[in-house]
Amino acid sequence: MCLASAASGKALPNSTRIPTTEGWKEVRDIRPGDYLFDRYGKPTKVLQIFPQGELEVFQLIFGDGRTALCSKDHIWSVNKTTWKNKNSFREYTCEELLKEELIDSNRRAKFYIPCSSAIELPEQEYKISPYIIGAFLGDGCCTEHQLTFSSEDEEIVNKIATLLGNDVVSFKRHESNYSWGFYHLDKSRTKIYTSILPKELINYSYDKSIPNEYKRGSIEQRLELL
């Protein structure tokens, strides 16, 4: 973390979206008392804001194609490929980086910045386990009335059945393939229907998406979905 005096460095465009403990906000909407996340994913309180006025904006392009916009005075923690200690980071302003040769003769970047750790959010109470959401994003059929799943790994199928409830069992729909279904054992073998799933999953595979509320779970819950 780098500390600087008020009105020095740290300027971002007002339209930049920032993750907060309450969801995404644009820089223009950040207020004292809001909680943002530091490099280690820890919530950190905004004590004050310092509007910078109209400034020239620079775009940084990272090796994976992502981009960032900032003023020339914005401070970055960086490591250089020629430095021996790869865990040592120094603070450079955007302007200082622009004075350096950023690409070597082999077209490789000379500087890199550390990736932030996963943000820490409180555990959420979900009606459907994140594991089930992740499984059906990848291998579930959600366009039929019945909840069906495709897998050659029976352990995954049994875990889904367990997470759906103590009275739920799985059955193989066809012996010639890996299509599975689920039903309630103590309710006259009532099949489980796709209506229990969030609307983002009840689509063809190319239209499925992670429901927003599952993006706001704890680190463990987000990993479970993955």
pLDDT digits (tens, 9 = 90+) for 16-51: 999 999 999 999 999 999 999 998 999 999 999 888
pTM: 0.80
Instruction: Measure the CA–CA gap between 115 and 30, rounded to whole angstroms.
Output: 23
Q: What value does the mean pLDDT take over residues 123-141?
A: 94
Lowest mean pLDDT among 6-20, 74-88, 104-118: 6-20
pLDDT of residue 190: 82
Crossing angle, helix 154-164 and helix 130-139, to 10 degrees? 130
Contact assessment for residue 111 and residue 82, using Cβ atoms and an 8 Å cutoff? no
pLDDT of residue 2: 39
- Which residues 6+ apart lie within 8 Å of 68 measured at CB? 59, 60, 62
pLDDT of residue 8: 45
Instruction: Measure the CA–CA gap between 149 and 135, rounded to whole angstroms.
Output: 8
The distance in angstroms from the start CA to the end CA of the chain is 29
How much of the chain, in percent, has pLDDT values that exceed 90?
A: 65
Lowest mean pLDDT among 8-22, 88-102, 116-130: 8-22
> Is the per-residue pLDDT at 211 higher than 60?
yes
pLDDT tier, 11 (very low <50, low <70, confident <90, very high otherwise): confident
pLDDT of residue 139: 92
Instruction: Measure the CA–CA gap between 187 and 147, rounded to whole angstroms.
Output: 16
Distance of CA 136 to the CA centre of its chain: 18
User: What average pLDDT does the structure give for the chain?
Assistant: 89
Contact assessment for residue 28 and residue 19, using Cβ atoms and an 8 Å cutoff? no
- Which residues 6+ apart lie within 8 Å of 156 measured at CB? 135
> Is the per-residue pLDDT at 4 higher than 50?
no
Which two three-digit tokens encode residue 215?
Answer: 């993006």
17: amino acid identity, one letter? R
Higher-confidence residue of 188 and 217: namely 217
> Is the per-residue pLDDT at 5 higher than 60?
no
Q: How many residues does the chain have?
A: 226
